Amino acid sequence: MFQGQSVRVSRMECVGVFEVCFDRQGESINKFDARTVDELRQVAQLLRAQSPLRGILVTSAKDVFIVGADITEFGAMFAQPAEAIAADVWQSNLAFLAFEDLPAPSVVAINGFALGGGLEFALATSIRVMSEQAQIGVPEVKLGLFPGFGGTVRMMRVAGPAVACGWVASGKPAGAAQALEAGVVDAVVPADRLRAEALAWLERAMAGETDWVARQERKRRPQSQGGATLEQAFEQARSAAAKATPPHQPAALAALDMMREGAALDRDAAIRLEGQAFGRIARTQAAASMVQTFLNEQAVKKAARVAGKPGAHTRRAVVLGAGIMGGGIAFATALRGIPVRMKDVQQKALDAGMAEVAKQLERQVQSGRLTVARAAEVLTSITPQLGDEGLGEADLVIEAIVEKLEVKRQVLAALEPLLAPTAILASNTSSLRIDDIASALARPERLVGLHFFNPVPVMPLVEVVRGAQSSDAAVAGAVAYVNTIGKTAVVVRDCPGFLVNRVLTAYMRAFLQLVADGAAYTRVDQAMEAFGWPMGPAYLEDVVGMDTGSHVNDVISAGYPERMPRIEHDALRLMAQEHRYGQKSGLGFYRYEPNSRGKPVRSASGDTHALLERVQPQGPRDFTAEQIVDRMMLPMVLEAARALHEGVVASAAEVDLAMHLGLGFPAYAGGPLKYADWLGLPELLARCERLRALGPAYAPTDALRAMAAEGRRFY
């Protein structure tokens, strides 16, 4: 009857019954792009013209139902004014409305994922039958948005305001049991019975045993729940969302306010209201940045798959150096089925490493991600050892010992003859150059950097560092390993600090200079946390450890002496000299006391301001939040741009995603380069000009000036 590129319609055996099947040609998933929406409009027109039209079965030929909208179309759409976006959204909604208003019952069989627009379309049908293995949800808030295909309107009328508000504001997906309990779906069935059960529901609806007409009519009317109860549901939802929503991400609260207003309207008016609010939110910095981050992640992961494809598979690995970092790397490796030997020269370190592994496995079991039996298998696949047995069998050796160049050189030079000639040797260094380490090796082409971030089990990023002599095979093998353990690989060229720590150093040096110029460290933390960072720079250094932070800052700064000269009045150096190492010593910028679960809790330390006056030659001075943000962020943006223009990484997407995954760069701002685009490069240069007296850290490169002059952007 109808064969589009995304949807087809066929007659079923029973007269007047039709199947609408989503089957996007040439792809493994279904999604709602402009073409699919247009085909849905044609399908609705075609079905309305059928006589008789008795029933409609909606299915997917893919392993998933519909994963949502085509996010690659958002860029052009969101460049329009809010009113034009709302108009586009309304035109798309007409296709959903036309299908929903067909004069026959419709039953959807939900398999795999029905997310975003996929669930919104399912809510337009009369009856929803879901596979036990499926997941549904409206995750748009994770992109700085909320549903725009009528999902806020229909879900509230189908499942009630509490469910609708909770699902929309959190963006969390739901499994089958939760979806059934919430009333979002009507039935949950085994996957192999999905089609048959959906047909059975359709037959009952056609026979009048299920009042599908009343179901559809309920979605057209204003919300029927009593006024006081309705208001209470919205108040509770807004209060919870306000506590959970990160700074500068307005989508969740805007959605709830819009839903509250729309509850009093009929369906079409409420959907128009949803579209108008969607248009306004689509124009925010958060939406632009978070959509770009999603696209960046897709692009970077695709690049990693391509880069790792020719790499040899890691069958056996060795982690050299135990403790918490080594234990974390061993855990992440063994969890993905790669046997690991963890070697150290001290039994105490091995015990600490295995304790870290056991702790992480216990967390996996408690969360339900691993069975007890599988956790035991992972544990037994890690072999702690003091000796050299089995090293020659390893495909990959990851060194995670003390961050001292000569020690690394000596240990790796002694280890190299014990390894297979084809084995990849990787250093987990965070600040030392791979080329400097490679100078001690007979086979420097087999050495790469694998810079994990702490804590390893949680942090998704790994920088794969290509030294001047690193072979393509070694780099590809390292990327393939990172892909295998489920982390995101970004290939970076060897330089002091690589990418993330190099850019972070520019940021931390700005903090040290602010303090030296008289700023209160608490004021800086408050301003940067209000900007959106998960923790301010002083708190961050306390968590890292003052001795480590000071050492890394000095090592990386030494690599860029022209713009990162030695800071005379250095608060980190002072703290380390005073043995105020942060959380691990109980005292740094702040004081720390363990709570009942042993987690350190931050509190003010009364003597810190007086101590820091020793590195404030002009005494204390007040800075506005705007001054602090510019002084902190501009050096970071400029250093990120330098790294890109120097070819340290291949793309702006890799820069920004690495800063997001490795440092927690505020999601609403997207990354240093997306933030630069949001400011506009002329405005960025103007702000740098105002701060040029502070030194070369605030001096834009010629490449950046040329971009601004030519009207170019990073995206």
Express each pLDDT in 672-697 by its tens digit: 999 999 999 999 999 999 999 999 99
Alpha-carbon torsion, ordered 229, 231, 236, 242, to 10 deg: 170
pLDDT for the residue 710: 97
Residue from 548, 559, 227 nearest 403 by CA = 548
Residue from 130, 124, 102 nearest 17 by CA = 102
pLDDT for the residue 188: 98
pLDDT for the residue 225: 65
Dihedral sign for Cα atoms in the order 423, 427, 433, 437: negative
* Tokens 């949001």 belong to residue: 678
680 CB contacts (<8 Å, ≥6 apart)?
A: none
Residue 468, CA distances (Å) to 89, 434, 438 in order: 51, 8, 9
Express each pLDDT in 464-496 by its tens digit: 999 999 999 999 999 999 999 999 999 999 999
User: Average pLDDT of the chain?
Assistant: 97
Express each pLDDT in 231-257 by its tens digit: 888 999 999 999 999 999 999 999 999
pLDDT for the residue 211: 96
pLDDT for the residue 223: 87
CA distance 612 to 518: 9
Percentage of residues in the chain having pLDDT higher than 90: 97
The pLDDT of residue 226 is above 90:
no
Express each pLDDT in 428-449 by its tens digit: 999 899 999 999 999 999 999 9
The pLDDT of residue 274 is above 90:
yes
Question: Would you mind telling me the total number of residues written for the chain in this entry?
Answer: 715
Residues with catalytic annotation?
451
Quote the pTM value.
Answer: 0.93
CA distance 592 to 585: 8
pLDDT for the residue 597: 87
Region at 426 (left for phi over 0; alpha for psi -120 to 50; beta for the rest): beta
Please give the helix or strand (H or E) that residue 191 lies within, else none.
none
Who has greater pLDDT, 597 or 201? 201
Express each pLDDT in 360-411 by its tens digit: 999 999 999 999 999 999 999 999 999 999 999 999 999 999 999 999 999 9
Express each pLDDT in 557-584 by its tens digit: 999 999 999 999 999 999 999 999 999 9
* Tokens 């003091």 belong to residue: 386
Q: Provide mean pLDDT across the span 330-336.
A: 98
The pLDDT of residue 501 is above 80:
yes
Please give the helix or strand (H or E) that residue 563 lies within, else none.
none
H helix and E strand count, the chain: 30, 20
pLDDT for the residue 670: 98
Express each pLDDT in 517-556 by its tens digit: 999 999 999 999 999 999 999 999 999 999 999 999 999 9
pLDDT for the residue 338: 98
Express each pLDDT in 206-216 by its tens digit: 999 999 999 99
pLDDT for the residue 230: 84
Are the CB atoms for 330 and 357 separated by under 8 Å?
yes
- Angle, CA 172 vertex, CA 171 and CA 173 arms, to 5°: 120
For 123, what's the count of Cα atoms within 13 Å in the CB-facing half-sphere? 33
The CB density around residue 378, as the number of other CB atoms within 10 Å, is 21
